[in-house]
Amino acid sequence: MKILNYLPLFVTAVLILPTYLSAEPAIHEYTQAIENSPEDMKYKFYLLRGNAYKYSGEMTLALKDLNTSIMLYPGRTAYKCRGEIYFKVKRYKDAIDDFSAALEINPSSELYKLRGGSYLKTANYVMALADGFNVIEMTPYDSESYYISMEALENLGDIELARELAFRVISFDRGNKKAYKIITKYPLKFVFIDEILYISHENNAINDKVDEIFLMYKKGEKIVGKLKRKLGECIEIGEEIKEFQAQLKGTWDNYFDKARALKIRSLKIHNDLRSKYQKQTKPIEHEIEIWEEKSKKCTEELVQTYWSNE
């Protein structure tokens, strides 16, 4: 029997199977095709019937057909389909192996997302993060590409990085709920006013007054000498913080790039990279904390100076 005889069946399967109300007719057709097709074609129909069993909820039969398909021809699609079933039945380690096999044949953002999600289920957050970075690299303007990395970073305790990714998502998807959840769960303690003056979130009354003084300064209103000097001091502190934050962001970006470049499944290598990153960022974060305290003190003194001159 020639392969052309089966083309309509392939097309039909691809188009209707995902939304098919009942997989039974398709299963019957694939069974007939398995019986009547040449040996070098059978793996395709085992794959199609296995997929039909999956949609019908017959996971044991689906796995049996997909095992046969992979035995006859270890293809990317069969590994992916079997991995999805393993994930559904909570056999996450088997799912990871199948998604890895599919990735070796032809990598895609979807496969990295599937394997990264499986790593999350096994609490292997470092490897989940590595796959999450690969997803971001392949589809950087899809907000869902960041979900695995954000969840992995949160579980690893790298809140600064998780928040950094959340802000990246918000930059092109302002209504993204998952990104906002990270940002609101771990709010910034300090923010910039007009990217110049750095103020604390801890005291709203002081923040509002600092904002008012800075607005006077921007409008060119007359500010007495002592108040102007203190404002200049606070702005200089803000500039120092900006420089350290730029250093920190540069370190984050380097870490993202290096993690994405690792194409091997080695927990030790990824852990070593993360440890190296943490050693690089720790002194920068410490400097930022010092300057944040200076900013907090300076803005409090700024308000006191303003009140003393009223």
pTM: 0.82
The alpha-helical segments, DSSP class H, found in the chain are: 7-16, 24-36, 42-56, 59-72, 76-88, 92-105, 109-121, 125-138, 147-156, 159-172, 177-185, 204-218, 225-261, 267-308
Answer whether residue 300 is part of any domain: yes
- Regarding whether 287 and 196 lie in a shared domain, the answer is yes
* Close Cβ partners of 129 (under 8 Å, ≥ 6 residues apart): 148, 149, 152, 153, 156, 259, 270, 274
Q: Are strands 190-193 and 197-200 parallel, antiparallel or unpaired?
A: antiparallel
Q: Which of 25-29, 133-137, 241-245 has the lowest mean pLDDT?
A: 25-29
The reply to whether 205 and 302 lie within a common domain is yes
Are 183 and 170 in contact, with CB atoms under 8 Å apart?
Answer: yes
| Helix locations, 173-224, DSSP H | 177-185, 204-218
The answer to the question of residue 113 being in a domain is no
Query: 53 and 15 in one domain?
Result: yes
Give the model confidence (pLDDT) of 77-102 as tens digits: 999 999 999 999 999 999 999 999 99
Domain presence at residue 114? no
Q: Provide the domain limits for residue 156.
A: 121-186
Cα 153 from Cα 158, distance rounded (Å) = 5
Q: What is the pLDDT of residues 172-209, one digit of tens each?
A: 999 999 999 999 999 998 999 988 899 998 888 899 99
Whether 216 and 274 share a structural domain = yes
Please state, as a whole number, how many other Cβ atoms lie within 10 Å of the Cβ of residue 187.
9
Q: Is residue 37 part of a domain?
A: yes
* Residues 182 and 201 occupy one common structural domain: no
Of 186, 220, 237, which marks where a domain is finished?
Answer: 186
The CATH number of residue 141's host domain is 1.25.40.10
Q: Do residue 33 and residue 99 come from a single domain? A: yes
Query: Are 130 and 176 within one domain?
Result: yes
Banded pLDDT at 277 (limits 50, 70, 90): very high
Whether 143 contacts 174, CB under 8 Å: no
Summarised one tens digit per residue, pLDDT across range 224-258 is 788 989 999 999 999 999 999 999 999 998 998 88
115 lies in some domain: no
Same domain, 209 and 174: no
Residue type for 81, please?
A: C
Same domain for 13 and 46? yes
Task: Examine the fold and report which residue of 160, 186, 212 is the final residue of a domain before the chain moves on.
Answer: 186
Distance CA 72, CA 49 (A): 14
Dist CA 9 CA 48 (whole Å) = 10
Whether residue 111 lies inside any domain: the answer is no
Q: Does one domain contain both 128 and 147?
A: yes
Q: Judge whether residue 21 has pLDDT over 80.
A: no
- Domain count for the chain: 3
Mean pLDDT of 283-291: 96
Q: Are residues 18 and 94 in the same domain?
A: yes
Q: How many other C-beta atoms can be found within 10 angstroms of the C-beta atom of residue 232?
A: 12
| Listed residues 136, 169, 186: the one ending a domain | 186
DSSP string, 139-181: -TT-GGGGHHHHHHHHHHT-HHHHHHHHHHHHHH-TT-HHHHH
Co-location of 35 and 143 in the same domain: no
Amino acid at position 251, single letter: T
Could you tell me the two tokens for 66?
């997909």
Question: Could you give the angle at which helices 204-218 and 267-308 cross, rounded to 10 degrees?
Answer: 70
Q: What is the pLDDT of residue 243?
A: 96
